[in-house]
């Protein structure tokens, strides 16, 4: 019998999205500040729908596949924003022979989104899990993904995400050496994503611990449950597709009203807006002390963005420019790619033992805060020096951690690439 407890949050989440949908469909004219609030509420409502759908989906598919699909839907706003800038760049090349600021804005949005995800999202999960664990020590003791306040432990099947993020990151370190982002880069990164998706399909299906709205949906029969999950995924995706670009534009226009530089708005404000669904979903997981799923959601999003998103940018540019030329990379954008790739490598090194500690989280957010402040306060020349110095810090720290944990690294590679994911309970995790 279905759970008779009414899922009261469900209609509230749906209602939060209605004003934004109405505004899009009717072309309602609003001030940028009001538009940011209306479309932001819609994205928050969609994030709740996504979290319930992903949790319930774990009844029928592996947690890794559910989180990967959740991550894909949650980053749809980022795809939408980036594709808009990339298409404008391609059209400018087709019409004028050069793309000007449009190319810079496309890459600024992508690199900013990746750094926000790791520099703010990952530490936020650790911090929130630590706060909840200290307030509810009884719940924390029963949750294996929080071995101690300030630590988040990933499930062993998530070795797949870490290994493929490492592969994409190592390849991305070559991008700052180029003058274009080409279709060859697209082929390599999409191939990495394809292999990642194939490995995830080998993960086992386990009975999840559900509560609240997700438990109510899961308590229905198999057919009804799957219709609910599909409906929630589609509804959330539709809301995000309809409102994400409007939300990002509203944030940018609000910043312009406040006299903030456009490049900074595209690099930092728009990504914060477009990353909102996945950050909210991760926080919801962390608040319920499902810390492994919380960090796993953001980890899957990072793999998704660093492979599928970056890989499709040259394709969108080629289509919109009606050519096979790669997206031009100016000197500043090569610096941006360098620090983004370096941060990603450092983030991977922190997860070699499948744990993210408070020390690691603090390092991520501190280094991110330095680069964020430098981009706002300093001029281009001084900011590039800071980016180069921080890239060196990231890379040297990553190499040191890899050397220190080389045994765990070998175990991680074995599990991520070749181990039978359905038998991981019988294998030791990296120490």
For residue 285, give the nearest of 296, 272, 273, 300 by alpha carbon: 296
pLDDT in the model for residue 2: 44
d(CA 203, CA 116): 29
Instruction: Select from 342, 305, 290, 242 the least CA-distant residue to 22.
Output: 242
Regions in the chain scoring below 50 on pLDDT: 1-4, 425-431
Q: What is the pLDDT of residue 430?
A: 42
Decide if 203 contacts 62 (C-beta within 8 A): yes
What is the C-alpha end-to-end distance of the chain, expressed in Å?
A: 43
Task: Point out which residues pair with 180 in neighbouring strands.
Answer: 328
What's the pLDDT score for residue 139?
Answer: 54
Q: What is the pLDDT of residues 173-187, one digit of tens each?
A: 999 998 888 899 999
Q: What are phi and psi of 328, to 5 degrees?
A: -65, 140
Class of domain 10-426: mainly alpha
pLDDT on residue 155 = 81
Q: Phi and psi at residue 233, in whole multiples of 5°?
A: -60, -50
Tens digits of per-residue pLDDT, 264-286? 777 787 777 667 667 777 787 77
- pTM confidence score: 0.79
Give the list of residues 6+ apart from residue 172 with CB closer than 8 angstroms, or none: 306, 310, 337, 340, 341, 344
Query: For tokens 């033992």, what's the residue?
Result: 353
Beta bridge partners of 355: 153
Long-range contacts, 176-180 (Cβ 8 Å, 24+): 176/334, 176/335, 176/337, 176/338, 176/341, 177/334, 178/326, 178/329, 178/334, 179/328, 179/329, 180/325, 180/326, 180/327, 180/328, 180/329
Q: Which of 424, 430, 426 is nearest to 202 (CA)?
A: 424
Cα dihedral across residues 118, 124, 130, 132: positive or negative = negative
Whole-number pLDDT of residue 274: 67
pLDDT at residue 379, rounded to an integer: 79
Domain boundaries, the chain: 10-426
pLDDT, residue 429, reads 43
Position 292 scores a pLDDT of 80
Q: Using CA atoms, how far apart are residues 95 and 89, in angstroms rounded to an integer?
A: 10
């Amino acid at each position: 019998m279905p759970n008779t407890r009414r899922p009261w949050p469900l209609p509230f989440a749906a209602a939060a999205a209605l004003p934004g949908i109405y505004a899009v469909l009717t072309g309602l004219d609003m001030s940028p500040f009001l538009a940011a609030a209306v479309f932001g509420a819609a994205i928050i409502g969609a994030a709740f729908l996504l979290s319930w759908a992903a949790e319930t989906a774990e009844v029928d598919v592996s947690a890794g596949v559910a989180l990967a699909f959740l991550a894909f839907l949650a980053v749809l706003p980022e795809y939408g924003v980036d594709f808009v800038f990339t298409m404008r760049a391609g059209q400018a090349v087709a019409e004028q022979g050069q793309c000007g600021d449009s190319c810079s804005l496309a890459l600024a949005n992508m690199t900013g989104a990746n750094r926000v995800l790791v520099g703010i999202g990952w530490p936020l999960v650790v911090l929130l899990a630590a706060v909840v664990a200290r307030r509810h020590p009884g719940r924390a003791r029963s949750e294996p993904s929080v071995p101690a306040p300030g630590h988040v432990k990933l499930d062993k099947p998530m070795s797949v995400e870490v290994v493929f993020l490492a592969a994409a990151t190592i390849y991305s370190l070559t991008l700052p050496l180029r003058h274009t982002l080409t279709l060859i880069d697209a082929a390599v990164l999409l191939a990495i994503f394809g292999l990642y998706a194939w490995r995830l399909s080998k993960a086992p299906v386990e009975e999840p611990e559900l509560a609240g709205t997700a438990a109510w949906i899961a308590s229905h029969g198999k057919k009804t449950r799957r219709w609910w999950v599909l409906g929630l995924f589609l509804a959330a995706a539709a809301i995000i597709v309809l409102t994400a670009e409007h939300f990002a534009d509203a944030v940018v226009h609000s910043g312009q009203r406040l006299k903030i530089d456009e490049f900074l708005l595209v690099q930092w404000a728009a990504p914060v807006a477009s990353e909102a669904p996945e950050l909210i979903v991760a926080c919801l997981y962390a608040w319920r002390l499902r810390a492994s799923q919380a960090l796993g959601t953001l980890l899957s999003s990072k793999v998704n963005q660093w492979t599928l998103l970056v890989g499709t940018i040259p394709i969108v540019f080629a289509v919109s420019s009606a050519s096979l030329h790669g997206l031009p990379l100016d000197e500043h954008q090569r610096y941006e790619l360098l620090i983004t790739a370096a941060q990603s490598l450092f983030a991977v090194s922190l997860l070699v033992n499948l744990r993210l500690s408070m020390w690691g989280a603090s390092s991520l957010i501190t280094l991110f805060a330095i680069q964020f402040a430098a981009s706002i306060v300093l001029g281009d020349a001084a900011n590039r020096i800071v980016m180069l110095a921080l890239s060196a810090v990231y890379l040297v720290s990553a190499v040191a951690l890899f050397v220190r944990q080389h045994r765990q690294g070998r175990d991680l590679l074995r599990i991520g690439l070749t181990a039978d994911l359905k038998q991981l309970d019988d294998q030791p995790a990296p120490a």
